[in-house]
Amino acid sequence: MILTETPPGTPPTTPGAPSATIPPAANWRTLPAVQQPTWSDPALAARVMDHLALQPSLTAPADVRRLGAALAHVSAGRAFLVQAGDCAEPVGAAGLAAVRGKHRVIGEMAEIISSAWNAPTVTVGRIAGQYAKPRSQPQETVDGRTLPVFRGSMVNAPEPDPAARRHDPRRMLTAYHTARGVLGELHLIAHETASGQLSELWAPDAEPWTGQLPTRPWDGTLRSIVRDYGQTRRTDGTWRRTGMWTSHEALVLDYEQAFVRLDPFTGEHYLLSTHQPWIGERTRQTDGAHVAFAARIANPVGLKVGPDADPATVVELCRRLDPHRRPGRLTLITRMGAARVRDRLPRIVRAVEEAGHEVVWACDPMHGNTVTEGGRKTRHLSAVHDEIRGFFEVLRRAGQWPGGVHLEVAGDHVTECLGDHGPKDAAGLARAYRTLCDPRLNDDQARATAGLIADLIAR
């Protein structure tokens, strides 16, 4: 296929290199885009976008395709998806410092879950790009002053100060450079792990790793994907974590558009700011810019689905985002709330199944369970766990694979969610409440959540 499918007049480029033509994904510009920054200097914003469009991409089309293949295995019930990380990532040194902790805890969750059923976990971070936030209110009042809300470090700063809250387009550059640094860290970690793996294989009594595969009916494709980006079996039968794919909410379309690049080998356009972008609950308008943008890129795409989504709308979104009904192209990230998941989700699952989309069903048990205690946003671990239980019940009853979870987790011992392994009351939240936006599970709560998932899978 391939080169002949490239639009006429398009110069050949190397994969991921900036494309000289305006990609078709730019059609979103004619559609309403909600939750966009109001840049303080629009001319500067335009220059920043031009500059970013000439920068090296952050991901490569071949890797994005491999994640797509891994997610097809998840949709078929042969692997489990763990997608997790910050609600809002910090930029700069703080962003880089947090990478190892997050990689470790997500890898530990993967090991716990994989051990339950002897099959791989596909690990995707909310990482290397999660710098923009949709908000329910445009303004907030802090100490009597009304300020524009914090919209993620790609847009403004969290400090409660009018100057910090301006939408500064130069922040898109900071976000890009931080993402590059974070990816560098992730590559280093993967390299370190791989070297360990090699010495293990070279040990005289070690069997080749291909001899250690579990007996599940997964094929060679998944095997190699998981070896590089997920997990491998150790010779003692436990799991070794390796790399991690990246994901973020593709919210600020000015930034994302700069990373839509033509893959000359397939003639398709990829969003190379990440591996798997997702569309948030607030920006999934059927005729809106975000859906049109995601519809035109070849990446696997996530879509948040909240309790008020009606089944017909979800099916229409599936039709637009997954017109070819490609297994794993679409991950439906349901975030219903513990109180509503058993009531609202069954109809949606049935409608999507009847429409013939082989999606990955993933449970976000965080965003439907946010409460305020003592002036701080928090979540009760018990509610998070109850939504996961409800999700498994609904999917199982529908004969579908509960394919994954989507969590907000920190790589250390923060005190942002209430309950077991964390603060018991609102006063305890203050001890290490460090999130830039929504409350995250701490490392112990994340491992406990993986334990629950392992139990539910093994059941």
Q: Is 332 in the site for ligand PEP (CB under 6 A)?
A: no
Neighbouring C-beta atoms of residue 88, cutoff 10 Å: 23
Which residue minimizes CB distance to ligand PEP? 280
| Tokens 């090991």, residue located | 111
Give every CB contact of residue 81 below 8 A, 6+ residues apart in sequence: 71, 74, 121, 122, 124, 331, 360, 362, 403, 404, 405
Q: Which stretch, 19-27, 84-92, 170-178, 315-323, contacts Mn ion (CB under 5 A)?
A: 84-92
Q: Is 87 in the site for Mn ion (CB under 5 A)?
A: yes
Amino acid symbol at 270 = Y
Instruction: Detail the residues annotated as belonging to a binding site for phosphoenolpyruvate.
Output: 126, 281-282, 304, 335
Q: Please report which residue ranges of 54-157 form alpha helices under DSSP H.
A: 61-75, 93-97, 99-117
Q: Is 151 in the site for ligand PEP (CB under 6 A)?
A: no
CB 122 within 8 A of CB 71: yes
CB 178 within 8 A of CB 92: yes
Closer CB to Mn ion, 87 or 448, in the complex: 87
Closer CB to ligand PEP, 357 or 367, in the complex: 367
Minimum distance, C-beta of residue 286 to Mn ion, in the bound complex (Å):
23
CA distances from 51 to 22, 32, 413 (A): 15, 25, 39
CB 126 within 8 A of CB 274: no
Q: Is 248 in the site for ligand PEP (CB under 6 A)?
A: no
Among 148, 264, 280, 328, which residue sits at the site for ligand PEP (rule: CB under 6 A)? Answer: 280
**Residue 373 corresponds to which tokens in the numbers above?**
């205690």
Minimum distance, C-beta of residue 433 to Mn ion, in the bound complex (Å):
15
Closer CB to ligand PEP, 254 or 438, in the complex: 438
Q: Is 281 in the site for ligand PEP (CB under 6 A)?
A: yes
Neighbouring C-beta atoms of residue 151, cutoff 10 Å: 27
Give every CB contact of residue 145 below 8 A, 6+ residues apart in sequence: 160, 162
Neighbour-count burial for 16-52, b at 16+ CB within 10 Å, e otherwise:
bbbbeeebebbebeeeebebbbebeeeeebeebbeeb
Which one of Mn ion, ligand PEP, none interacts with residue 280, CB within 5 to 8 A by kind?
Answer: ligand PEP
CB 56 within 8 A of CB 265: no
Contact string 429-448 vs ligand PEP (x = CB under 6 A): ---------x----------
Q: Which stretch, 221-229, 275-283, 340-348, 425-433, contacts ligand PEP (CB under 6 A)?
A: 275-283
- Binders of Mn ion among residues 339 to 358 (CB under 5 A) are none
Minimum distance, C-beta of residue 46 to ligand PEP, in the bound complex (Å):
27
Instruction: Detail the residues annotated as belonging to a binding site.
Output: 87, 126, 281-282, 304, 335, 367, 408, 438
Q: Is 87 in the site for ligand PEP (CB under 6 A)?
A: yes
Nearest Cα residue to 276 out of 304, 251, 255, 247: 247
Minimum distance, C-beta of residue 441 to Mn ion, in the bound complex (Å):
12
Minimum distance, C-beta of residue 306 to ligand PEP, in the bound complex (Å):
6
Q: Is 335 in the site for ligand PEP (CB under 6 A)?
A: yes
Q: Is 78 in the site for ligand PEP (CB under 6 A)?
A: no
Minimum distance, C-beta of residue 406 to ligand PEP, in the bound complex (Å):
7
CB 300 within 8 A of CB 329: yes
Q: Is 63 in the site for Mn ion (CB under 5 A)?
A: no
Among 248, 269, 357, 367, which residue sits at the site for ligand PEP (rule: CB under 6 A)? Answer: 367
Q: How far apart are CA 26 and CA 422, in angstroms?
A: 45
Contact string 414-453 vs Mn ion (x = CB under 5 A): ------------------------x---------------
Q: Which residues bind ligand PEP (CB under 6 A)?
A: 87, 134, 280-282, 304, 335, 367, 438
